[in-house]
Amino acid sequence: MLPMNPVRFVRIVSVLAAALTVCGLQMQAQQLSRRDWVDLAKARAGRQASPQAAAPSPKADGTFITVDVPNSCGTTLEGINSRGDIIGQYADCAFQGHNFLWRNGVFTYIDPPGCFGDGGFASTEMGINDPGDIVGTCVDSNGFHGFLLSKGSYTILDAPGAAGFTEASGINPKGDIVGAFSDSSGNLHGFLLSKGEYSVIDVPGAVPPAQTQATAINPNGDILGTYQPGGRNTGFLLSGGVFSTFQIPGEVTFPNGMNPRGDIVGAVCCGTLPGGSFLLSNGIKAIEHHLPFDVTNFDAPGSCGGCTIAYDINPQGDIIVGTYFDNNFNTHGFLLMLKKN
């Protein structure tokens, strides 16, 4: 049995619970038949389910492609670079997790020696930059560790002060790495690893257990993440040493990835909106200058209804990667190929 990071586990549970609650079903809804789930998902989306068409929207009008690692029992896609290299995690059918790189149609498994991927069970994230350096998280008998794979060599990353949990979530072309670690009191802190030096990231005013997690970093050094003031996940952007917090309409916001254009993707749930993913176009500019948000919400066809998590968007801004839960709560990776305006 893999150890579970309770803070990150909340992310998946929140999205699933939101989908069930909005349907008025609570957790017993998982006993419904597959046909019931499909009907509910159609009703909530206000459209007919289709294996090819994304939810109608001027910004996320494109094509969904489901991606499953061969012979796996669960797949997530968590990062993409400008060359189209994609990274993610999968679980084999013995419930062992692995990390992988998908390049030119070929899957390569990238578990550090003696340390395995969590397969998406703990919802840890990964990152890849244009040179092809990869960061992620693996687990052994001592807990969770971040790792860097660069030019064929692995480096294990354990943040100073970490007590059994470090994850590396993002890396920019300069090699700066962001992620999170849990201290001995169970509080989660973000970190930046730059030129061999760790810096702790805590959103000002966040009182433990208001957890802080850094999820992505762009070429300019802007850092994206989430924290929990009062138990409600809220997004933050750290740019030029200044923190800005933001909330996508709904109850909780999980920003996961961004590109150099300033587009931000993630997941949102609860409130008056169904759960699902969001695309915040030109989000960095809007957050920094307090402009109106240009938000598109979307849900993968075939998901259980609101059970979609977007993890990253490529530098060109035309491919989003992520994962969704189907009506039987199996996980699948997805590509959303956006139509350019």
> For the chain, what are the domain ranges?
6-338
List pLDDT tens digits, range 77-130.
Answer: 999 999 999 999 998 887 788 899 999 989 999 888 888 766 544 456 899 999
Give the tens place of pLDDT for each residue, 171-214.
999 999 999 999 999 889 999 999 999 999 999 876 665 689 99
Please provide the average confidence, as pLDDT, over all residues in the chain: 79
- Most confidently predicted of 7-16, 56-65, 167-176: 167-176
Does pLDDT of 54 surpass 50? Answer: no
Length of the chain: 341
Q: What is the pLDDT of residue 115?
A: 82
CA-CA-CA-CA dihedral for 52, 58, 59, 62, to nearest 10: 20
More confident site: 323 or 6? 323
| CATH classification code of 6-338 | 2.120.10.30
Strand 223-227 versus strand 166-171 pairing type: unpaired
Its pTM surpasses 0.85:
no
Mean pLDDT across 203-227: 87
Query: What is the full DSSP assignment across 76-131?
Result: EEEEE-TT--EEEEEEETTS-EEEEEEETTEEEE-PPTT-B--TTTT----EE-TT
What pLDDT, on a 0 to 100 scale, did the predictor assign at position 124? 66
Q: Specify the range with the lowest mean pLDDT, choosing from 71-85, 154-168, 238-252.
A: 238-252
pLDDT for res 94: 79
Paired tokens of 66:
């489901």
